[in-house]
């Protein structure tokens, strides 16, 4: 009879009504650099048109691979167009993305580029931007908000760039609900785009675990542990999302891997946020077998929970209501019942592969 009680946790988005995000500034602070990690194929850099508008502020980071002739030709073209590019030696012991970002802050990299005649501005702010993410406007408007409100790190409003088929529509609702949670959990920073003071991001990246899944939130959690001021801004960035069940399922396994690492392996980092800890660690992972046992022994438990979630999801998230939201509880139930075990196994796989446990460094 107690099974539907987890519904209470999903009422926490009511808090978003009392904690509003910062509005983007009308003016722009131009003192920033955009760091974009790019990988082994030019097709992964999908925001090139946007980056060309601000090319003098962009620093592209990639792996030096002379055998990849297609990528080398693409980099040559980008250099001719005025982009600054850091090419790093591949390191097999860690995942590539955060290795590239971390190395991009190292002083010897800057010195090497200066010797090659490449100008590296020592800007006050930095934006970590994925290659499949396009901001709606000038990032300098977020930098101005950081400056005006004495923040150290700003999370932004991430929006799917497409919502045509069912899986994309569900992700649009999912992202909108998640962005409401950023109102009161601004430290849940997104890998799509995070903006902050350069000295703060540099200090965080020096101690980053380099574990990919959950590596974006690790930036915010570490910033919170360092007592930095983190705020959420209502600045839209559009990111590409999976458009098929297969690609979505593969991504979500990684997401649950990251959630397991952030919430369970680093449970002690969230003692001051008991609702987050109880939900993300306790309800999602520790109680996963209990939910299955109850569902298999009490046939009405799962249908009743889904039925309760339909009006509650709509009412709690009324600010981002959508006509397809009545289907969202089914989408969420599939994730919460199926994916935690896959996420846990993915974590074990990466632990054995990279020998990195993903523990977040203490302050």
The overall pTM is greater than 0.85: yes
User: What number is the average pLDDT over the span 30-46?
Assistant: 90
Q: Is the pLDDT of residue 1 over 80?
A: no
* Spatial separation of the C-alpha atoms in residues 245 and 252, rounded to whole Å: 10
Please check the confidence at residue 206 and state whether its pLDDT lies above 80. Answer: yes
Q: Please enumerate in sequence order all residues whose Cβ is within 8 A of that of 158, keeping only pairs 6 or more positions apart, or say none.
A: 133, 175, 178, 179, 190, 192, 193, 237, 239
Report the distance separating Cα 134 and Cα 36, nearest Å.
11
- What is the pLDDT, as a whole number, of residue 2? 42
Residues 309-357 have pLDDT tens digits of 889 889 999 999 999 999 999 999 999 999 999 999 999 999 998 888 8
- Split at pLDDT 50, 70, 90, the class of 9 is low
- pLDDT tens-digit profile of 110-169? 666 666 655 565 789 999 999 999 999 999 999 999 999 999 999 999 999 988 899 999
As a whole number, mean pLDDT of residues 58-69 equals 87
End-to-end CA distance of the chain: 43
List the domain boundaries for the chain. 5-31+123-352
Which range is least confidently modeled, 93-97, 154-158, 202-206, 284-288? 93-97
- DSSP annotation string for 159-205: EES---SHHHHHHHHHHHHHHHHTTT-TT---SSEEEEEHHHHHHHH
Best mean pLDDT range from 15-24, 128-137, 302-311: 128-137
Helices (H), the chain: 48-53, 69-80, 96-104, 107-115, 140-148, 166-181, 198-206, 215-225, 245-259, 274-277, 288-297, 301-316, 328-354
Q: Alpha-carbon distance 160 to 238, whole Å?
A: 6
Position 64 scores a pLDDT of 84
What contacts 218, CB < 8 A, 6 or more positions away?
Answer: 208, 209, 211, 262, 358, 360
Residues 33 and 126: their CA atoms lie apart, in Å, by 5
pLDDT over 80 at 7, yes or no = no
3-class DSSP state of 236: strand
Residue 6 pLDDT level (bands cut at 50, 70, 90):
low
The 10s digit of each residue's pLDDT in 120-131 is 657 899 999 999
Q: Check residue 158 and give its pLDDT.
A: 96
pLDDT at 93: 63
CA 260 to chain centroid, in Å, comes to 15
Neighbouring-strand partners of residue 126? 33, 196
């Amino acid at each position: 009879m107690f099974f539907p009680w987890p519904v209470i946790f999903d009422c926490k988005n009511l808090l978003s009504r009392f904690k509003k995000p910062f509005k983007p500034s009308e003016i722009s602070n131009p003192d920033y650099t955009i760091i974009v990690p790019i990988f082994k194929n030019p097709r992964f850099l999908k925001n090139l048109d946007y980056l060309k508008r601000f090319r003098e502020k962009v620093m592209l980071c990639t792996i030096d691979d002379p055998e990849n002739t297609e990528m080398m030709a693409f980099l040559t073209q980008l250099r001719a167009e005025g982009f600054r590019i850091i090419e790093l030696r591949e390191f097999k012991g860690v995942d590539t993305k955060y290795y590239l970002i971390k190395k991009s802050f190292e002083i010897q990299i800057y010195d090497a580029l200066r010797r090659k005649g490449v100008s590296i501005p020592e800007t006050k702010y930095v934006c970590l931007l994925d290659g499949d993410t396009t901001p709606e406007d000038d990032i300098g408007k977020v930098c101005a908000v950081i400056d005006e409100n004495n923040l150290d790190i700003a999370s932004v409003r991430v929006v799917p760039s497409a919502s045509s088929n069912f899986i994309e529509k569900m992700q649009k609702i999912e992202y909108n609900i998640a962005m409401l949670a950023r109102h009161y959990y601004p430290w849940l920073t997104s890998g799509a785009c995070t903006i902050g003071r350069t000295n703060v991001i540099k200090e965080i990246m020096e101690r980053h675990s380099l574990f990919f899944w959950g590596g974006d939130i690790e930036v915010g959690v570490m910033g919170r542990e360092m007592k930095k001021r983190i705020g959420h801004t209502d600045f839209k960035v559009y990111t590409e999302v999976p458009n098929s069940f297969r690609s979505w399922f593969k991504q979500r396994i990684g997401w649950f891997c990251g959630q397991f690492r952030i919430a369970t392996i680093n449970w002690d980092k969230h003692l001051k946020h008991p609702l987050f800890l109880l939900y993300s660690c306790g309800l999602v992972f520790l109680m996963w077998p209990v939910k299955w046992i109850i569902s298999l022994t009490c046939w009405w438990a799962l249908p009743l929970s889904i039925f309760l979630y339909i009006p509650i999801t709509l009412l709690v998230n009324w600010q981002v209501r959508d006509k397809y939201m009545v289907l969202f509880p089914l989408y969420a139930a599939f994730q919460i019942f199926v994916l935690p075990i896959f996420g846990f196994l993915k974590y074990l796989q990466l632990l054995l592969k990279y020998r990195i446990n993903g523990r977040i460094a203490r302050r």
